[in-house]
Structure 1
Amino acid sequence: MANSLVLGDIQLKADVLVIGGGPAGTWAAITAASKGAKVILADKGYCGSSGATAPSGTGVWYVKPDARLRDEAKASRYEMGGRLAEHRWMDRVLDRTFANMNWLGEVGYPFPRDDQGELYKKGLQGPEYMRLMRKLVKKAGVKIMDHSPVLELLVDEHGVGGASGVHIQTNEKWTVQAGAVVIATGGCAFLSKALGCNVLTGDGYLLAAETGAELSGMEFSNAYAISPTFSSVTKTAYYSYANFYYEDGTPVEGAGSKRGRSIIARKLLEGRQVYAKLDQAPQDIQQLLRINQTNFFLPFDRKGINPFTDLFPVTLRLEGTVRGTGGIRIVDESCATSVPGLYAAGDAATRELICGGFTGGGSHNAAWAMSSGSFAGEGAAAYVKKLGPHAAERTLRSASSAQHATAIDQTGGLSTANKTEEIIHAVQDEVAPYDKNLFRSAGNLQASLQRLDELWKEQRNRAVIEPSSLGMKSREAMAMTATARWMYNSALARTETRGMHKREDYKSLDENQHYRLVSGGLDHIWVKPEAVQEQALVKEGEAV
């Protein structure tokens, strides 16, 4: 049963509330403001420096409007993604990304020049990019609320109408009533310590599902990235220059192939340590690699390791839906969800529309963040205009699946924190192991779901302590638990191997399962197929 609305210390009104301050959120805020909307952006961290993009460089799916180049770009990951992407969405994202990247250059992003003297726009340096985006958000007149995680969405019979949260530095509870809400909270990496990902705990998925929104592609959530054992940096592209070895220098056969991560995972499961060396990187580009990804090399420099000549131990770090493709289901070109007034963008939304069941990290994800953010900002602003002048003056209630606690129990705070940590570790025990999540089977999935369902029941009626950081951590634990349940129920329903979803008991692709899997629910998870909205992309000379 939904809770009655508990007003906060800070009460604000806006046309559009954007939740999340990464690329998708900032693009949504800027675009909505450009359409005349009054916008507030609430970020769990500090808008401009938190999230997966801010500390790293990223490739961008930037392709000039040339028919041949665009066709090649659309085909590049189509087969790997299980033929679940759609032409019209790929075209829309390529068009909008091209325009947005050009605009970034016009407003001050320092694109470098290539060997031909042209601006190189196929990549962005996260610190410079997000510093500029924060500046542009403020210039657009958007109010930024940093360190202000959302704890609940607010709803009435007409749909979503705002959100409440806490400012974790002051413990002040805040409430924003808004005509429309854009969820741009990123994906879920399950607190795996992947660089920039520890604010990405699936919060937006839970918020959306509590209002009745659906998710899609949650089986495509078992992304693991290669990382040194002593580092949180997961820039997998650099390992295209690597060979992999055992400690005695013997090569790990096949580890450098497209199946490399699976081979590395199996060796690690056997208890064998795998080592890497970037010994395929030509001497003349090694300095350029250092310049492009400075933070990749910092952990090596601190340890006195030259990764181009020295062996270093590697592991696979879970990135879940951050490098996966599943997320909140969107129902039209404005990135609206099925719940009126609620929009989704970036990693919080499904990326199946442009890359099916596989994505390699940056590139498509970066393009999707800026384009879907723009689409959602436009859509939210247009929706509010249709609502009229009283859009932010509604009688709202909480959509949260947890109960309220308006006062902090000083005696129970420590025990609550310890219990929350126990739950988080229990969820990680089900999603982090390679033999449960990367190599899936019906027996393991069912066993994990039994444990995850018990964890959900345990949390279902526990109070969220507000206003405090404990309340935020409690919601993170709930979101991680819910995310894992949608993931594994979807994985159990897809009895084949497609995209990054790998079933040990169904090792081949099944043409009869060429559909998406939509999921939802809280206490009882449901999963159902949804048809891809157009025919598969075919290669020249190939029959449909």
Structure 2
Amino acid sequence: MGESLELTADVLVVGGGPAATWAALDAARAGADVVLADKGYCGTSGATAAGGTGVWYVQPDPAAREAAMASREGLGGHLADRGWMARVLDRTYANINELAETGGYPFPTAPDGRQPRNGLQGPEYMRRMRIRTRRAGVRILDHSPVTELLTAADGSVAGAAGHRRQAGHPYRVLAGAVVLATGGCAFLSGALGTDTDTGDGALYAAEVGAELSGMEFSNAYGIAPEHTSVTKTAFYSFATFHREDGSVLEGAASQGGRSVIARELLNAKVYCTLDRADPADRQAMRLAQPNFFLTFDRLGIDPFTQRFAITLLAEGTVRGTGGIRIADADCRTTVPGLYAAGDAATREEICGGFTGGGSHNAAWAMSSGSWAGTGAARYALGLGRAARTRPVRAAGGAGLRPTGSGGADHREVTAAVQGEVLPYDKNYLRQGDTLTGSLRVLDDTWRLLRAGLHGEGRDAIRTRQAAALAANARWMYRSALARTESRGMARRLDFPDQDPAQHHRIATGGLDEVWTRPVKEPAVKEPV
């Protein structure tokens, strides 16, 4: 193992997707010296870089903005906040226009001369964001996963430590502030672009005392062709679904149809054909998401006329709304010096209890990234250069510093967690006794890993990832048990109705002992 690398910066950004690059860019523009540390190669890792994404981009017309804000309030259980929605619409509009006009993003021009800006090709978007970030002077550490945060004597966050995969040595960055933009947690389900999304940021935040929120809104599953990873669920609005015997699977194509598909998949295969797409739709789909069609083209299948088997892949908090709780408009957390952005943060502010791929999530990523970067820079610059020389302590626990003798294996921990969060009848079709049974397994798994899971160097990346999977699963299911109703995407088979008395968010946190509590937010009133 080589010598450890030690760097100093005003702001450290952890992550490499859209939220991270916008955070790094805006922190640098605010005058901060910035380091960005990515688990993969910044610009290519994560869900956005792997495909295309829609964006919640709406012209500043009052009627259009009103319609945009109202469109998902009901689906989200009326937990979103109009003030945050308006801010995100404004910031997304500005960022997208900047991306086109100074960032050089090649938005296509329609035959009538219009240039729709409500969609982005992920690879090109992230390629340009990497270029822009580097030109702003940001130092990028690729293939350098963070494994723990560092804290100062007063408990504020003062940097992070990690391991450089390719260089083969540890590193530390001492910083005035840290932005966690590490993505959500998809539990290594195999969904495209989500293998870096293992909930690491949430674990690190909880270890320094930050809270999470909305973790019950985490049972997102995306439709994918069987044995593939591409979950472009929007295309399945054009589908007819069939049972193995060829009969139509009634209700599968409706809103909430994935629960119908999930029940059928428990015992049999489900097939579909995208036969409701007209020629114009088919052309637009191929232009928007060419990677969706690669598998079909290689297999010689025409998905518009021939049926193919499908599956559901867990997307957890990547396509859910839960994450690190935001404490103020600049995306600071409840811990000084720590900020959160993108899928690592809760998206309840603009989505309440329901979201999906792209659209609101994509808008939140760039908006919250910009605010977190600017806020972190302001905080760090206020501390001055003395912040870089503060004595620090390592905050990491599970997977790094076991409380007992060794013996736990990260592969066994990961398999145990996946056994409770990937099956449809445990996570998607939720009910109280099933959640309670899964939590017993997950709590036992946590006790085992906390006592005996240990890794150093490259192995620490795997052990910390396993610990993060277990922590996220426990926050999810404790929050799901606390919400004894069905609201947003948090559906309970044993509590199928929405309860007006539970028009609140649920905060959670803790590691050895997980807690939950209701949080009354001054949000939208319950509908009549």
TM-score range, shorter chain: over 0.9
Find 1:298's aligned residue among 294, 298, 303: 294
1:409: which partner in 2? none
Find 2:440's aligned residue among 429, 447, 450: 450
Equivalences for residues 382-393 of structure 1 within 5 A: 382-393=378-389
Q: Which amino acid aligns with 1:123?
A: G
Among all aligned residue pairs of Structure 1 and Structure 2, give the percentage whose two residues are the same amino acid: 58
Q: What SS class does the counterpart of residue 288 from structure 1 fall into?
A: helix
User: Is residue 2:428 matched to residue 1:438?
Assistant: yes
In the alignment, is the contact (CA less than 8 A) between 1:246 and 1:275 conserved in 2?
Answer: yes
The 2-side partners of 1:404 and 1:225 are apart by 33
Find 2:68's aligned residue among 73, 78, 90: 73
Equivalences for residues 50-449 of structure 1 within 5 A: 50-106=45-101, 107-158=103-154, 159-269=156-266, 271-402=267-398, 404=400, 419-449=409-439
Measured after TM superposition, the shift of residue 93 of structure 1 is: 0.3
Measured after TM superposition, the shift of residue 403 of structure 1 is: 6.7
Q: Which amino acid aligns with 2:28?
A: A
The 2-side partners of 1:304 and 1:230 are apart by 16
Q: Which amino acid aligns with 2:47?
A: A
Q: Which amino acid aligns with 2:413?
A: I
Find 2:451's aligned residue among 451, 461, 465: 461
1:320-363 Cα offsets, whole Å, 9 max, x none, are 00000000001000000000000000000000000000002110
Measured after TM superposition, the shift of residue 8 of structure 1 is: 6.7
In structure 2, the CA distance between the partners of 1:506 and 1:466, relative to structure 1 (3 Å rule), is: same
Q: Which amino acid aligns with 2:481?
A: L
1:190-247 Cα offsets, whole Å, 9 max, x none, are 0000000011000000000000000000000000011111210000010011110123
In the alignment, is the contact (CA less than 8 A) between 1:514 and 1:532 conserved in 2?
Answer: no
Q: What SS class does the counterpart of residue 181 from structure 1 fall into?
A: strand
Q: What SS class does the counterpart of residue 459 from structure 1 fall into?
A: helix
The 1-side partners of 2:109 and 2:66 are apart by 25
Measured after TM superposition, the shift of residue 463 of structure 1 is: 5.2
In structure 2, the CA distance between the partners of 1:403 and 1:508, relative to structure 1 (3 Å rule), is: closer
The 1-side partners of 2:3 and 2:484 are apart by 47
Task: Tell me which moved more, 280-289 or 253-262.
Answer: 280-289
**Gap runs ≥5 in structure 1:** 1-6, 406-411
The 2-side partners of 1:506 and 1:285 are apart by 39
What TM-score comes out, normalization by structure 2 length?
Answer: 0.97
CA RMSD of aligned residues (A): 1.6
The number of residue pairs the alignment matches comes to: 522
Find 1:536's aligned residue among 509, 525, 528: 525
What TM-score comes out, normalization by structure 1 length?
Answer: 0.94
In the alignment, is the contact (CA less than 8 A) between 1:154 and 1:163 conserved in 2?
Answer: yes
User: Is residue 2:11 matched to residue 1:19?
Assistant: no
Q: What SS class does the counterpart of residue 321 from structure 1 fall into?
A: helix
Find 2:509's aligned residue among 520, 523, 526: 520
Measured after TM superposition, the shift of residue 387 of structure 1 is: 1.1
The 2-side partners of 1:192 and 1:534 are apart by 34
1:370-417 Cα offsets, whole Å, 9 max, x none, are 000000001000101221231111100011113758xxxxxx9xx87x
Measured after TM superposition, the shift of residue 471 of structure 1 is: 1.2
Q: What SS class does the counterpart of residue 338 from structure 1 fall into?
A: coil
Q: What SS class does the counterpart of residue 386 from structure 2 fall into?
A: coil
